[in-house]
Amino acid sequence: MKRISNLLAWGALAIVGALCVLNWGTLSAQAPLDLVLWQIQAPLGIVLLGVAGVIFAFFLMAYLYNQIGSLLETRKLLKEIRRVQELADKAEASRMENLHQLISTEFRLLNERMGSASVVHMPNQRDDEDPRPLSLTELVARR
């Protein structure tokens, strides 16, 4: 859409430029201009082109001001998003660390309870070898 509007704007500018070049004699012809208090002789076409140029410059400045404001707002929002994302990442890492510590503590307690409650033999262990209790991770790995 932006490409089409750019093409239309440049096309309109080219048409106006071509018409100005082709009709320069008519545009620069002297004509009486009534300015309420004064009446002067001036080329009416050139005066109108000048007014159109001033209006165009005004709208161009307004457009640029709007675009710059949008870019600054986008930049500010991106910084805020990055800050919030970093905060969320830190909170998630903290939760993961707490969960890791909780699971480690629970596994340690479970291993201690299993070690004191009974002795589990490894499936490939002979009866004449010294039986040792298996840790929970070894039990899970054997499944």
Counted residue by residue, the chain has a size of: 143
Tokens of 140: 């899970």
With vertex at residue 136, the alpha carbon angle to CA 134 and CA 142, rounded to the nearest 5 degrees, is 75
Domain spans in the chain, listed from the N-terminal domain onward: 2-142
Helix (H, G, I), strand (E, B) or coil at 92: helix
Whole-structure pTM value: 0.55
The helix or strand, by DSSP H or E, that contains position 33, with its residue range, turns out to be strand 30-34
Q: Identify the DSSP state of 57.
A: H
pLDDT in tens, 58-80: 999 999 999 999 999 999 999 99
Note whether 110 and 120 are within 8 A (CB): no
pLDDT in tens, 82-126: 999 999 999 999 999 999 999 989 888 888 888 776 555 555 555
